Amino acid sequence: MRIHRSYIISIKHIVSFTNEHINIIEKALPISRSYKKEVLSVLEQYG
């Protein structure tokens, strides 16, 4: 899943998330404004 122009991540590696960041193993990656709506929608469905 693309969360930023510079980042593509796998959903299975997500530890937690907020409206601005996704935490994967020991890193917080930003969610860009252009991808935010789509990313949060997918994460809500994924559970």
Distance CA 1, CA 12 (A): 10
Give the pLDDT score at 46: 83
- Indicate yes or no: pTM above 0.95: no
42: left (phi over 0), alpha (psi -120 to 50) or beta: alpha
* Tally of domains within the chain: 1
Q: What is the pLDDT of residue 36?
A: 96
Angle, CA 24 vertex, CA 32 and CA 9 arms, to 5°: 55
Range of the domain at 35: 2-46
Q: What is the pLDDT of residues 1-47, one digit of tens each?
A: 999 999 999 999 999 999 999 999 999 999 999 999 999 999 999 87
Rounded Cα–Cα distance for residues 20 and 39 (Å)? 11
